[in-house]
Amino acid sequence: DAVRLILDEMESGEIPTREASSLLARRVLALVHKEAAGHKHNLARQGKSTDREDYDAGMPNGRISSDWRVWGRRRRPKVEELCMRDVHLLARQWVADEHWDVPKHHLYDPVPFATYRCRDSVAGPELAVFLKLLTSGRSRRHVLWQVVDVASTVTGPETTNLVGEAIAGLDARQEGMARCMARHYPYLNAALTNGEKQDRSCDVLTPLVELWLLDDGPRDGLVGQLMKRPDFQYFLFFGTSFARHLSNARQEWLHQALERLTPPGQGELEFYHYPRRGPILRQVAQLGSAVPGWRKTLALERGDWQPAAPSATRLSKGSGKGKCKGKGKGRRAPVMPEPVQGPQGPGGVQVYLWHPDTQAAFLQKALYGTDSTSLALIPRLEFATSTARAKELLDAYPKEQPQKVDGSDIWGWEVIQAAGAYSDLDAEVQRRFLELPLPWIPDAVGDAELECLVAALGRADEDASIIQMLGRFAGKVKPVKETMTKLVARVSPADARNLIKQVMLPRKSGVALQTAGLRMLQELQIPEPLELYRAAWSNGQCPRDVAGIILAKVNASQCFSPEDVRSFYSFFRQMAGQQDECVYVAGLLLTQLMERPSWSLPFLPEVVAELAMLPGLTNDAVQALKTSTSHVNEILHALTKVLVSSRLAERAAAGDRLSSELAAKQPEARVLNDLYQIRSFASLRDLARSVGLMQLADCDPDALLGFVGELLRAWQGPRQNDSDSLLDCTLAVWAKLLRPGQLDTWPAVLTAMEKRLARCGSPRDLGALVAAIVAEVSSLSIADAAQHGSALAIVREMIQRLLSEHLAVPQFESKHTMDSIAKAEMQKRCEARNQVVLKQWPALLANGCTEAETAQLFSACPEGKRVEFADAFVHAAMQVATKHREALAKWRQKRPDQGWRHEGGIPVDKVQVGSEATGRVTNSSAEFGVFINFGCVKDGRLNVPTSDWTNYRVGDEVTGMIVNKVDIKKTNQFIELILVRDRSSQLEAQSSVSSWQVACRTVQWLSNPPEQRNLHLSTISSLWAKVMNANFGDLSFEEGLGLLGSPLPQPKDCSQLVNELLLGPPERDMARQALDWLGKVLPEDAVRLWTAWLERATGFADTESEAANASDMIALLRLCEQEGLELPKIPKTVARGFVLETLELLAASKMPEARLLALQALWEQHWQVEDLPSVLIDLKSDPCEVVAVAARNLWATLTSTEAFGGQGGQGAATSSDEDSDSENGSEDEETGSDSAADW
């Protein structure tokens, strides 16, 4: 009743309207808090938690209490913070901070998305009284601000009616004019703001419209009511809800609003012509949902085109008339960040959904300025004449700003008059608005505006017309090249060809656009590009950057014949008078040639050789020739030409006529100096190395000889520190003339080399010649054995000729007949001879040869160098054999364990190596290889290079194969197939065997005559063991002994032989044969070596280890029994690996030591009590008392439960073993592994 009484007093006017509206606003807020608190109390009574901790834990407690609130959006948050004590009314906070005030915040901040208000049913009587106060007309401005406060708190039909009545009583144009000029006149601003404060916003229409249209449901109907007003077009500038609804849902209404608006300079001045007083018209195009969204777009876009801000001014608190500078409250320093745009332009743009007429009207009414955002939006209007507007702006370039900036504050904070009197507020607002200076509109078209517009045009659809339009700005504006490149890439190849020719390639387009056009010829694969290259070439009158690019592009293409493009490279001769231009273009060409070493034009090496005569380009030209990988003959001719020029330059520089100071001043002197620097031995050596890496197998011999001749001429001059290395590299190139299929030319080549070196070289140089020839011949792949033998014979004849003629060492009766010079010469000759005989000749034959060849080499070995020679020769031959074996293993890739099996095929163990096969491909991949079903239960893997797997598709038939390898294991079987036409694996295998045979012959030669064998038996033993362990020829041990000659060495020496062999280690069969043989010759040493071999073979990781160890132990036991020798001590690791068969054999032996060894093995193997073999029971009653006692002791230990704390059997043994590995380790070492204490 008291509340009703107060409300009646408000209606009757007993309580003044101003105070009544304020009381009602506070009353409504209190009712909202009471409603929220009541729902929290109901939750507690229902047993639901309202604690913050439970809320954080994810307990569902909010759905029932959500009835009191209304969300403004259809998409409500998934979690509602109803457990919080305070009621978070975001709309009320938005009103309190006046986030719509653009001059204060420098941007428009819309109502937050996750906004809710209370249902207005909680304050029905209060809202009814509010409506009556509003319609009374008393204190209307204050009542309007209280309506804003109430609308930010509650929502519903009553609130909607109240706010609609408030909006209906406002003139939108009048409110807009007041917003523009109020802060310039503080006395007017105070009359319009909430609480009559000068520093607050006078714009009450914006929050009313935003809160009225906040809810999604009734928005369309409310917007329809606004459209019935005569001033509906002005609501586009009050908030974003009205404009966004028209832009996204009601385009017909948007079109009607745009038709009523006028751009600046046409008709009457309007408030929306003033920027930065509120939302501007062009922002209507940015209220879509495109990335990054309209909210973020508004938040990021601040003052992107305004002039430089003057010093900040404040409103005055004083009174009086006239212009003055004041101290305004609430004014913050203006923020002027750069415009924020994405890579595709401004965000939130969705105008492509608009009608063409709407786009045209928007283009005329909104995009009249040249700020960056407006320029970026122009190309987005795809259905309007945006291209014409862009052309208009481009034609106006350059254009200065017609209206100069006078320093006024565009945010509206400059005080014009602080105090004043008026009788009619609306009339005063209109009068003061008309007194404002004209709005500052950006209209200049400078470089910045042009760049922004050009960058935006890259998104336009009229590609061809825009490219034509932008062509004249190509050399003036930077983004033109990127924009035109983007547009050209979107048209058809035929249209792109015409546009590139007409717009991008003419010289007036500028170097940047020309280079972009040339690049696009290749990227877009434009047909018939040669015509366009010639158009850009302009008979050599094009810019030098373009010339360099054209020359490089022509070389990079593979579709031009050399005759068609030869004229391009005559540029350097035509421009010989303009040396700077030639040097620049040549530098570009050489740089690109070095980056692309594969040259398509055969005449390019000749051109590059000519460029070496330009100042500063000599080294680049030589480097380009060195890196080229094509046209080897032409490259050699060009390098020879450069070397001839450098030789002549050396003569020109003789007598210090060329100094570095002169070379820095005169271009011609620099050319001579650069050519002279090439003549250094270090440069020539690097050049020879580079040529040696080229594909010289098919080059012209005359071209190669010409190049080598120039190198040798330089080498024959005054010797330098690098002369030896230069000769080595030169001989390596010269040796490339020794080609596998041209053996008939070898004698002439070798003779020429021999004569040249013998005539002007030293003994060391002749040795270098032999080294180069041996290295080249060793690297050749000669498949035919006869040809290989012929090649070795030719080289051997040359070596013998050198040894007998040029490196012969005469024998004098007395050494005192030679003087010091002769002695030095003789010493060099001996060193070179020994180098050839002991190193180079063996290296040649280490790859494999006939017995006749090795006999020739053995006969040339000096008598005092036999051991040194044999050691080096065997090592070289075994190294080659191992290399070939590794290459063969690398070539044979094994397939993983998984495979494909076929029912009904032959078993894997029945497949014979070497048998022919035909089949079909079942799987083919780069990772696993090619697999063939050739009739076996298991697919075979075809051994082909990885790069060839694409040639074999599933289902293809493959013929001409043979089985090369069959590998059978417990977990997998592997079959390898090779093509008969691919003999590389066979060659590798043959090379391995041939090199091994050479090593065998060397051991045999060193072992004869037998009477001298003991002089170097240690070396023979080591070499013989190395050969036998490799055993590429599958020799038996008895056959291997034949390499030592007859008779065999003494028994003690035989023990040394077997010991060296076992250190290899050899294969099991070879080791057994050796130990069996030694057991017949020297049983005592055989027993000792058997023990060492058993310990070493225990760690072999093969599937036959257990059975093999058993066989070895049987052989050792038999040897001891036959020879009456004591069985040696066996290590733990060996005993632990005895199988049951071995244990039974040891237990049945007549030797007590063997039976004790069986007990030791039982202890080391940690048997379970229930699994103990019967041999232990038999040994408990052994005739030997020691064996019986030890057996009973072991039985008691393994079966006792008291000795090991209640644990028996396996547990006890395991515990003892662990202790012996840690604490008792030192004791074990002292007592021995076979002592009785251990078991």
Of the ranges 23-32, 303-312, 857-866, the best mean pLDDT one: 23-32
Q: For the stretch 1177-1213, what's the b/e string if a residue is b when 16 or more beta carbons lie within 10 angstroms of its beta carbon? A: eebbebeeeebeebbeebbebbeeeeebeeebbeebb
Q: 3-state secondary structure string, 411-467?
A: CCCCCCCCCCCCCCHHHHHHHHHHCCCCCCCCCCECHHHHHHHHHHHCCCCCHHHHH
649 pLDDT tier (thresholds 50, 70, 90): confident
Q: Where is pLDDT greater, at 648 or 1031?
A: 648
Q: What is the tens place of the pLDDT at every residue in 112-166?
A: 988 889 999 999 999 999 999 999 989 999 999 999 999 999 999 999 999 999 9
Does 820 have pLDDT greater than 90? no
Q: What average pLDDT does the segment 371-390 reach?
A: 86
Mean of pLDDT values over 764-787: 87
3-state DSSP call for residue 965?
strand
**93 Cβ contact list (under 8 Å, min separation 6):** none
Asked if residue 451 has pLDDT above 60, the reply is yes
- Reply yes or no on whether the pLDDT at 338 is more than 60: no
Average pLDDT, the chain: 81
Structure tokens at 780: 């050749």
Phi, psi of 916 (to 5 degrees): -80, 150
Please, which pLDDT band fits residue 839 given cuts at 50, 70 and 90? very high
- Look at 463 and 548; give whichever has higher pLDDT: 548
Angle at 875 between CA 874 and CA 880, to 5 degrees: 100
Comparing 814 with 356, the larger pLDDT belongs to 356
Contact 521, 510 (CB under 8 A): no
**Cα dihedral 222, 225, 231, 235 in deg (nearest 10):** 10
Phi-psi region of 515 (alpha: psi -120 to 50; beta: other; left: phi over 0): alpha
CA-atom Rg of the chain in angstroms: 51
198 exposure class (CB count in 10 Å sphere: 0-12, 13-18, 19+): buried
Give residue-wise pLDDT tens across range 1145-1189: 888 888 888 888 888 888 888 777 777 888 888 888 888 999 899
Which pLDDT belongs to residue 897?
41
Burial class (CB in 10 A: 0-12, 13-18, 19+), 982: middle
For 238, how many CA atoms within 13 A lie in the half-sphere containing its CB? 31
Query: Which residues in 44-92 belong to E strands, given as ranges?
Result: 69-71
CA separation, residue 399 to residues 206, 371, 373, 403 (Å): 37, 14, 18, 12
Tokens (6 digits) for 494: 């035929």
Is the model's pLDDT at 320 over the cut of 50?
A: no
DSSP 905-923: PBPGGGPPTT-EEEEEEEE
> In whole angstroms, what is the distance from residue 502 CA to residue 758 CA?
68
Question: Are the CB atoms for 596 and 627 separated by under 8 Å?
Answer: no
Give the pLDDT score at 302.
Answer: 54
In degrees to the nearest 10, what's the CA dihedral of 393, 394, 400, 403?
Answer: 0
- The Cα angle at residue 358 between residues 354 and 361, in degrees rounded to 5: 145
pLDDT (tens digit per residue) in 480-518: 777 888 888 888 888 888 888 888 888 888 888 888 888
Give the number of other CB atoms < 10 A from CB of residue 574: 13
Mean pLDDT over 538-562 rounds to 85
Contact predicate 231/256, CB 8 Å: no
Looking at residue 446, its pLDDT comes to 87
Average pLDDT over residues 742-764: 91
pLDDT for 1112:
79
Q: pLDDT band at 554, cuts 50/70/90?
A: confident
